[in-house]
Amino acid sequence: MQATVVSVDVAVGDAVAVGQQLVVLESMKMEHVIAAETAGVITAVAVAAGQTVYPGDLLVAVDPTADRGAVSAATTTEGGPQSELGSVRPDLAEVLERHAVGMDDRRPEAVARRRRTGQRTTRENVEDLVDPGSWVEYGPAVIAAQRRRRSLEDLVARTPADGLVAGVGAVNGHSTIVMSYDYTVLAGTQGLQNHRKKDRLFELAERLRLPIVFFTEGGGGRPGDTDGTGASGLDCLAFSLFAHLSGLVPLIAINSGYCFAGNAAILGCCDVVIATANSNIGMGGPAMIEGGGLGVYPPTEIGPMSVQVPNGVVDIAVADEAAAVAAAKQYLSYFQGPVLDWECADQAELRSAIPENRLRIYDVRDVVATLADSGSVLELRPEFGVGMITALVRIEGRPLGLIANNPTHLAGAIDANGADKASRFLQLCDAYDIPILFLCDTPGIMVGPEVEKTALVRHVSRMFVTGASITVPFFTIVLRKGYGLGAQAMAGGSFKAPVFTVAWPTGEFGGMGLEGAVKLGYRNELAAIEDDDERERTFREMVARMYEHGKALNTATYFEIDDVIDPAQSRRWIVSALDAAPPPLPHAGKKRPFIDTW
């Protein structure tokens, strides 16, 4: 190669050993050590420092046959003096020191603040979530973009990772992107650099198809960064990039403590929100509320769990961060495929799960727990839309979404909140190819002047348009009541839409509830009966005749349903249908444009 001589390290007459440095050349800003290939004596030096040399030029001559005397082993090799194997050089020491600055054992004051609020540190949460030894962090050396107002030393010490710990680790053995705002760094606010870090990880999530678990505690946008070039920062990409992931990869938010403004926007885009009892979640924190002239409020009065759980913002409410992490692991597991080890309750218990008295309520959650694999039920939004139950479950280790009417609320009638809850859950399951099981026990869609004030017509119709759009296999088991439009909504729009529609022996069917049908259809006949007792007796006889006509076994004779089954055989029907269904078709991008945040 063409190069410049940096140094000549031997002279004529010197004895040299194998590997000893003779000349150092520089080419394209890189140094190359020319070492002796054999022991011997230098007989000629043809170059000097500063000289340009070309391919084929003589540098030095070594005579291996000359009297070498006592030539010692080489003490230098290419690259200069070498450290002992495994030792830490100064450059590595600097890197390790910088990484260590953000670790909990170097930040006792920050750890103490978390202990005072009964919370864990960011890194403790991440360590609990990811499988041991699997964590790789992106951007741990990043600091806040405040170099114009603070010293580098101060920023390194007080703003490690710019308040956002982010990286890739395995959760349940599957690669997952994990991100967490660090409330001990500038109140977990969204700084210029941690926005850029989010952008980087969001793009990786799209490229590698990795789910994201995001710990969202923090105060929103940060006004104190000085190193940017913009005026408002509204051209940041994080929210657009994150929202674009909806429906492509599972998005899980975990929150403990305060979560306001931009942090809440990230949380709100997620498929599922897991929040601890001490969470306060709001689109604006105290400063924004006061700045808007809306009054002065402490943060604890903004979006507490007593508000955000029953209104449906929070999907899974837990006691603390340890429980939140456990819930996140369980939730992710349904999107990571079947499990081999499972067990279930004695399915014969289902034969007595529905009361013989057709007017007596029961707890459908007991049915779900018995039907599903033991310990596999994860219910979402249990305190919102309480007339509808949505849960992720397993049957013989296979993940399913489950939607069930709750007969303890409005007899299982579908109201606006219940319809919204079920419709969004249908989107969630369909987006990630999870089959769906409906457990139907509904008198229909709720009626009355008051419920119409909730825009019921629009909300309930979401179940029909969403049900007609899903492509995953779905199944309907009618536990008891299957009446009117509500029953059709619990079957994707029609009893012929599911892979199978079957009923337990307690099933009963009709275009509307039996009592209502009699009152409406035989109004004149009943009104003509003057005696109150006689009218009531006639009414009950008519209801009984309609029940006989609409009970499951008679309905099956018209082939409106596929069969009436022994409840203990329900799992066999489900597994048979899962086996018969073809595997999901691969799709290059999203299956659905997004999952509705509501």
Q: CB–CB of 4/26 below 8 Å?
A: yes
Average pLDDT across the chain, whole number: 93
* pLDDT confidence of residue 86: 77
* pLDDT confidence of residue 521: 77
| pLDDT (tens digit per residue) in 87-115 | 899 999 999 999 999 999 999 999 999 99
Extended strands (E) in 372-435: 378-380, 388-395, 398-405
- Give first-to-last CA distance, the chain, whole Å: 66
Give the separation between CA 541 and CA 560, rounded to whole angstroms. Answer: 25
Residue 504, φ and ψ in degrees, nearest 5: -80, 165
* pLDDT confidence of residue 93: 93
Of residues 82 and 426, more confidently modeled: 426
| pLDDT (tens digit per residue) in 140-150 | 999 998 999 99
Q: Please determine, for residue 82, whether its predicted confidence score (pLDDT) is greater than 70.
A: no
| pLDDT (tens digit per residue) in 366-383 | 999 999 999 999 999 999
- 526 pLDDT band, cuts 50/70/90, is confident
| pLDDT (tens digit per residue) in 113-168 | 999 999 999 999 999 999 999 999 999 999 998 999 999 999 999 999 999 999 99
pTM for this prediction = 0.88
- 67 pLDDT band, cuts 50/70/90, is low
Q: What is the mean pLDDT of residues 56-68?
A: 87
Residues in Cβ contact with 3 at an 8 Å cutoff, skipping those fewer than 6 apart: 25, 26, 27, 32, 52, 53
Q: CB–CB of 285/258 below 8 Å?
A: yes
- 83 pLDDT band, cuts 50/70/90, is low
Give the separation between CA 372 and CA 228, rounded to whole angstroms. Answer: 54
* pLDDT confidence of residue 595: 95
Q: Please determine, for residue 190, whether its predicted confidence score (pLDDT) is greater than 70.
A: yes
What does 142-194 look like in DSSP terms, one character per residue?
---S-TTTS-HHHHHHH-GGGGEEEEEEEETTEEEEEEEE-TTTGGG-B-HHH
DSSP 8-state assignment for residue 70: S
Q: Please determine, for residue 579, whether its predicted confidence score (pLDDT) is greater than 90.
A: yes
* pLDDT confidence of residue 74: 43
Q: Please determine, for residue 189, whether its predicted confidence score (pLDDT) is greater than 50.
A: yes
